[in-house]
Structure 1
């Protein structure tokens, strides 16, 4: 769901042009950014491979409570530099990662960090249908880029074509990396 996350960030940028695009891109991927060192240290793991082919044991970064905590921390830090409103938006973008993952993941998203209490885990499992999941991501990416491009064209028509082509190229590369499991 990497491309879908970036599509959402592009859509948010369309409505919140004052928020730097890099902060939105970082926010939408923040749970995965924090996941990487935990994965490399063996704290969080993945069984299987390929686009949606694995069960992810991201029991800290991708637990419901863990995602809320990471979103709140990101929002607080962002609000110090970008203001309260931007901090709230960016915290929401961080948490949107968990909501989008809920749609595609198998039931591997715990409620509490470390899956404390061995409570039920969640995920609607759209990844079981890779073609459908890829189409959903492509649509999210296309809509997000389209909204971003339209808003950019209204603000600066001379730069709109360049922005649109850049965003589309970024989207194609991101979707390809997502589908190839890079």
Structure 2
């Protein structure tokens, strides 16, 4: 699961327009933003096996980002942070927190068993990555359905649709590039973590533009 995680951000924005899109885009991938930072620091570990179907990642050690209790903690922390620093309404802050936690639920669907139910505990994952075509269909399907809901909500609020459509198109293109850019075999090095982190931050910046542009003029 890569850009499919942003489906949670689209759905959240349609449900709660008061939550800025950039906070929801960051929330949808906050667990992986933390993971990429921990890969850089050497706190968590992963490697690449190009022979694997679907995702070539072997996620060996990631208890501080992808275990169930830590995913909950990241969600609660994000909700409190946007409430205190951005002064978002309570419901909007809760929606941000739920968007963070959605990452673990979507990962559960596609990951091979590498998600810890507790730190150091049993690992779970339904393994949809092992079936690349259905996995990609699920991922793009989620983006299409929730993206349509987001575009409809923008129109209801008197905002232009094209910034949202352009952002969705960018994510689909990003997914295609990721599929066609295999990583070399071996441990995932710090430079790969830097690149992954940069991509997430660029997406957050582009998400912010969808809120700052697209108002209809009379």
Same fold? TM cut 0.5: yes
Secondary structure of residue in 2 paired with 1:46: strand
Q: How well do the aligned residues superpose, as a CA RMSD in angstroms?
A: 1.8
1:138 is aligned to 140
Choose the corresponding residue for 1:104, options 101, 110, 125: 110
8 Å Cα contact 2:19-2:93 kept in structure 1: no
- TM superposition shift of 1:154: 1.9
8 Å Cα contact 1:27-1:93 kept in structure 2: yes
- TM superposition shift of 1:177: 4.1
Secondary structure of residue in 2 paired with 1:55: strand
Question: TM-score of the superposition, structure 2-length normalised?
Answer: 0.75
8 Å Cα contact 1:106-1:126 kept in structure 2: yes
* Whole-angstrom distance in 1 between the partners of 2:88 and 2:170: 25
Deviates more, 1:66-75 or 1:35-44: 35-44
1:13 is aligned to 13
8 Å Cα contact 2:45-2:62 kept in structure 1: yes
Aligned pairs (5 A) from 1:19-58: 19-49=19-49, 51-56=54-59, 57-58=61-62
- List runs of 5+ in structure 1 lacking aligned partners: none
- List runs of 5+ in structure 2 lacking aligned partners: 182-195, 197-218
* TM-aligned CA distance change 1:72 to 1:138, over 3 Å: same
8 Å Cα contact 1:145-1:167 kept in structure 2: no
Secondary structure of residue in 1 paired with 2:56: coil
2:154 is aligned to 152
- TM superposition shift of 1:163: 2.8
* TM-aligned CA distance change 1:83 to 1:49, over 3 Å: farther
8 Å Cα contact 1:152-1:163 kept in structure 2: no
Question: TM-score of the superposition, structure 1-length normalised?
Answer: 0.89
* TM-aligned CA distance change 1:88 to 1:48, over 3 Å: same
* Pairs aligned (count): 176
8 Å Cα contact 1:74-1:91 kept in structure 2: yes
Is 1:77 paired with 2:81?
Answer: yes
- TM superposition shift of 1:168: 3.0
Structure number with the higher helix fraction is 1
8 Å Cα contact 2:110-2:127 kept in structure 1: yes
2:167 is aligned to 167
Secondary structure of residue in 2 paired with 1:147: helix
8 Å Cα contact 1:31-1:70 kept in structure 2: yes
- TM superposition shift of 1:49: 4.7
